Homo-oligomer: A and B are copies of this chain.
Amino acid sequence: MDKPIDLVIVDSVLDAIADQRLRAGTKLGEQALSDLFGANRALVRRALAQLTAYQVVDHLPNRGAFVATPTPDDARNVFQARRAIEATICRNAVRQADEADLADLRAHLAAEAAAHGDNRPSAVRLSRQFHLLLARVGRNPVLSRYLEELVMRSSLIIGLYAARQGVLCAEDDHSRIVDAIAARDEALALRLLDQHLRQIEAGVRFGDVPPVTGALSAMLQRPGE
């Protein structure tokens, strides 16, 4: 159970970014992380290098590591990449999903429905994880890994630029996609997913970027389910 400490740091930061607790531009100081996770500086450094490779952290020489601030161009490119990759993932899912996969997807939809309105951070997290679950059903780890990174960057973009409301994926979209997959209707599933992604992208409004404030420790603390 005790996985490498540097992976714990990476996961915590990614989780915090995905949940929009860590905002773009936040400084990730080595000492601060070192204290928070009880790891020595070399491990923190390794974790930050991995996050930099994922493109969710910018590393400025002699200045330190900061949560990346995606540009509008980045946003367009990230969403185009998601459409390309998730289309193939979706096609795989339609062709390969077995009963167990469909049960998993439906269970996830139920969890989303339960969290909707009830618990906002949890709802956002589930909404995001739906796409990763779909990737798992697609059974191509190469594409899954890319999608993980893209979902992360999407969260960062949405956190930076999204109009206050309408951030959530309509859960209805997700359930209709699952229905199409269960019906083995490839064309429909692909169309619904593409529309869904375009709708999310349409929700971002570039402009004012509010400044960063607050303590790192609070941001990395995961709120209760």
Grouping DSSP codes into helix (H, G, I), strand (E, B) and loop, the A interface class, with mixed when no group exceeds half, is helix
Interface string of A27-50 (1 = CB under 8 A from B): 000000000000000000010011
Whether A175 sits at the interface, judged by CB under 8 Å, is no
Q: For the complex, count residues of A whose C-beta is within 8 A of B.
A: 23
Task: Name the B residues within 8 Å of A78 (CB-CB).
Answer: 142
Q: Per a CB cutoff under 8 Å, which of B53, B80, B81, B140 touches A53?
A: B53
Q: This chain: how many copies in the complex?
A: 2
- The reply to whether A143 and B50 contact each other, CB–CB distance below 8 Å, is no
- The reply to whether A80 and B143 contact each other, CB–CB distance below 8 Å, is yes
Task: Name the B residues within 8 Å of A84 (CB-CB).
Answer: 84-85, 87-88, 143
> A interface vs B, CB < 8 Å?
46, 49-50, 53-55, 74, 77-78, 80-81, 83-85, 87-88, 140-143, 145-146, 150
Interface CB pairs A-B, < 8 A, 15:
A49-B49, A50-B53, A53-B54, A55-B145, A78-B142, A80-B88, A80-B140, A81-B143, A81-B146, A83-B88, A84-B85, A84-B88, A84-B143, A85-B85, A142-B150
